[in-house]
Amino acid sequence: MNTPELDPTDDPGWVLEAEAGTAIGSRFAISNGCLGVRATDPACTYVAGLFDTPETENAVPGLVPAPDWLHLPITLSGEPLLPGGRASLDMRRGLLIRQSRHTTASGVTVRLRTLTLVSLADRAIGLQLIDIEIEQGTADLTLQAALSATSPNLVGEHTASDLGLWRTAHSAKRLAVATATAVQLDGQDRPQDPAAPVWHIHAVPGQIVTIQRIAAIVHDDTDPAPAARRHRDQAKDLGWRDILAAHEAAWATRWQASDITIDGDPDAQRALRFALYHLNSAADPANDRVSIGARALTGDDYRGHVFWDTEIFLLPFYSLTWPDAARAMLMYRFHTLDGARDKAQAMGWRGALYAWESTDTGEETTPDQVFTPDHRLVDVLSGKQEQHISADVAYAVWQYWRATADEAFLRDAGAEIILETARFWASRAQPGPDGLHHITGVIGPDEYHETIDDNAYTNVMARWNIRRGLDVAAMLRSRWPACWTRLSTQLHLDEAELGQWLAVADTMATGFDPATGLFEQFAGYFALEDIDLSAYPSRTVPMDLLLGRGRIQRSQIGKQADIVALLALLPEAFPPGADSANFGYYEPRCSQGSSLSPAMHGLVAARLGDPEKALRYFHQAGFIDLGETPPAHDGGVHIAALGGIWMLVAFGFAGLSLRDDGLAIDPHLPATWGSLSLTVRWRRRRLRITIDHQQIEAILQAGDPMTLFVRGERHDLLPGHKPLRIAIPEST
């Protein structure tokens, strides 16, 4: 029986390939936002929200690996049939495919092909399909369908051949895995051993043994077993071909909504498609109790915790291509708002201070100490001092609102997030003798400098957050007065407090010097040692290891974009000309010691009219997970860096920006790119935009008429398939 589904997509632009032994666990991971399967042997499956705390000193919660539903021990004439060979990640269809040949000591040769997916159509479902073709010799195969958990954090409650039930050792979360395994010889079903889940098959050259395994994995705090059985039975009734077809159709929908094509730069296209694949894999719009961790569900670095990465580097992609997913991720922040309130109160402030590292409860889960790469134990202050995350969450809420005009979300959740984070900053900033309000003892995005005062990123974002809080209050009062009455009463928010917020925002210290046009990154920064990073062109280790922790803290060298990040997020905070001045000052002082940094620098470089420099940053960001030299450890893809790649392309090269009355485009394409084509959503519309060096072509594929601004010039887009072609005006 020929199974063409086990062959990767014909177009090599959609396929990544690697030989056995290559570090592909994260890179070739498959996920649907609920389940994530690493491409390792044995496989490792993560379930979104399945956290537990190990019994170790200073332990923090982490993701718990699920039982290995892919483990199907197969022997061939008495020898283990081990996976290996060539692996292919089919990004178009969301499939992991492996192909290999095996020859036993007795001369039996078989061709082994496997296909693995976690369904984008039914996120509880995983499917494994194995074809074993006998090429030479007579084969006696034995297959076992066992199901067991190896994690010490999973305690078995019930284990059978087709259903397992576990609970986490400390958090008492419950997990059920229901399976269905079928074996065929040349398309004919083969029965299992009546005494155990074992199959014995005798096959001759030319015959094909096909193994199908369906797994339904459900995480629930009460009783997940019935749901697991239901999903398993429904999938079993469909059969593997229909499971695969539904999964492929769901992926086709995602690619239609988010694909970006680049003409003239195959390496950039490959990096971008890889980023889009993992971004589309990472979200689950059906579950608003989880969000995307720093490594998504592709590895265990940072224990699956959620950082500011999610709101700043990921939400733009989802807000503008997959609003349902963005909404669910922001609802996660709404559901964890009480945890943020508790943290603020415990530290002596009002409002909501979000956890720097968050799991499912909203409680702070940042470890107190960690070992550095050079094996030193250091204190971790980010859980206490990296407070800009509250403004980052509010920023994402506001950008989602601007992109979608989702009134129900704003009234029922978003407004409360913005108001409570604004309240935090209004209580956090303290008046000084200079008549300004100051925020002391923090860490900005640049984590080389701790316990600093008046970090410009933090203070300007805090000011922005407070002002959006005032805007939200005014909007609710005028548009939805009943909602304002309810919410202001619930939050005990009155006019006197709103007046205090305005006073704080108007007097916030920002470190901006009108004479130079520069923001000082934090108080005293300009007095620090100015080290020339160009003197270290061939460095292979981070600058804090090269210079030492003490000296790096006494220098102007930054780990990642700080003022540059502020320039990317709030360009309106910079007076005319100050954008170039700040980028020119801070870019050469950034060591790019964080995976988050290159894309942010590239975005700003493109906006400032230097697409060639932006392209260098683009390739640097794309190299992080796709480089020829894999990372020192395979702890998961850098999902925020992948989101940053999309931001660089959409907001930098395409020059996309949000307006209240439409979308704006100000493109800056690299010279080597012939064209750039992307699809975006805006307020229930979908439009496809193609940009080359002479014109923009825009098609409104769905939704009501809208306005597109091209370098400030207004153009009306009407429904239909006739494209609007607009010559690109000269930059001013």
Give the model confidence (pLDDT) of 396-420 as tens digits: 999 999 999 999 999 999 999 999 9
Q: Report the sign of the C-alpha dihedral through residues 487, 489, 491, 492, in that order.
A: positive
Residue identified by tokens 């400098």 is: 449
Weakest-pLDDT range from 196-200, 416-420, 450-454, 627-631:
627-631
Whole-number pLDDT of residue 167: 94
Given a cut of 70, is residue 629 above it in pLDDT? no
Whole-number pLDDT of residue 632: 44
What DSSP line would sit under 512-539, residue for residue? EETTTTEEPSSTTGGGSB---GGG-TT-
Domains in the chain and their CATH numbers? 16-53+73-255 (2.70.98.40), 260-321+612-732 (2.60.420.10)
Given a cut of 90, is residue 633 above it in pLDDT? no
Smallest Cα–Cα separation from 437: which of 513, 511, 508, 512?
A: 508
Whole-number pLDDT of residue 678: 97
Residue identified by tokens 């964890």 is: 336
Smallest Cα–Cα separation from 719: which of 694, 706, 700?
A: 700
In this structure, are residues 102 and 109 in contact, taking their beta carbons and an 8 Å threshold?
yes
In this structure, are residues 443 and 399 in contact, taking their beta carbons and an 8 Å threshold?
no
Distance CA 307, CA 310 (A): 6
Instruction: Indicate the SS3 state at residue 671.
Output: coil
Whole-number pLDDT of residue 2: 63
Weakest-pLDDT range from 32-41, 543-552, 660-669:
543-552
Instruction: Indicate the SS3 state at residue 262.
Output: strand
Other CB atoms within a 10 A radius of the CB of residue 628 amount to 5
Whole-number pLDDT of residue 54: 84
Three-state helix/strand/coil letters over 672-723: CCCEEEEEEEECCEEEEEEEECCEEEEEEEECCCEEEEECCEEEEECECCCC
